[in-house]
């Protein structure tokens, strides 16, 4: 089973996704795939807040941080485990923008395939995968090619994952709006 949660930055989507993953776990192990990197003080503070929030929960999370192997994660999963990916946006950025230069269109398609294959492998190996991603498209089309390629690839990933998801929702101001399926209870 796959659940997709999107929303703007600071919309509350991570909290909603964490609560969903905990509900779905029903006593199974929880895996938190942390794709963000601490590239500046603001991101360090955000990551610290996420860590503190998870530490305060009754649930125990096994945390995987980038760079990670999707195959290694899939191999470690049990049928009653739940995976939370937070977030697809950061994982794609890591895939496309790590290194000396921005990647080509072909590189972007290959990264998207790797990401989809990873999420699908997790979903096949465990009870549920909850995917969190940012909505980046309200501002229009960017002028630079790298950012445009990133947004285009992310949009394609969103559409493919939502098509495969049992439930999909958008979080706005902490409020959940279910767009597809029934939200897990």
The catalytic site residues sit at: 50
User: What is the β-pairing status of strands 30-34 and 82-86?
Assistant: parallel
Tokens at 184, concatenated? 């897990």
Q: Are 84 and 32 in contact (CB under 8 A)?
A: yes
Contacts of 125 (CB under 8 A, 6+ apart): 74, 75, 77, 78, 79, 81
Strands 128-134, 175-180: pairing kind: unpaired
CA angle 151, 148, 122 (to 5 degrees): 30
Q: Look up residue 7 and give its DSSP letter.
A: E
Helix (H, G, I), strand (E, B) or coil at 75: helix
Secondary element (H or E) of residue 40: none
- Supply φ then ψ for residue 140, to 5 degrees: 90, -170
């Amino acid at each position: 089973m796959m659940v997709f949660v999107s929303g703007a930055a600071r919309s509350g989507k991570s909290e909603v996704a964490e609560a969903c993953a905990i509900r779905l776990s029903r006593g199974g192990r929880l895996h938190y795939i942390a794709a963000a990197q601490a590239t500046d003080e603001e991101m360090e503070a955000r990551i610290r807040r996420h860590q503190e929030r998870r530490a305060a929960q009754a649930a125990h999370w096994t945390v995987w941080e980038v760079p990670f192997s999707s195959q290694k994660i899939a191999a470690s999963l049990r049928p009653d485990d739940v995976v939370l990916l937070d977030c697809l946006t950061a994982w794609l950025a890591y895939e496309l923008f790590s290194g000396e230069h921005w990647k080509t269109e072909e590189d972007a398609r290959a990264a998207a395939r790797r990401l989809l294959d990873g999420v699908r492998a997790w979903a096949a190996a465990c009870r549920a995968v909850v995917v969190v991603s940012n909505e980046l498209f309200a501002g229009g089309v960017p002028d630079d090619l790298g950012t445009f390629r990133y947004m285009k690839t992310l949009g394609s990933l969103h559409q493919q994952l939502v098509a495969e998801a049992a439930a999909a929702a958008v979080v706005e101001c902490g409020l959940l709006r279910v767009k597809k399926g029934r939200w897990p209870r």
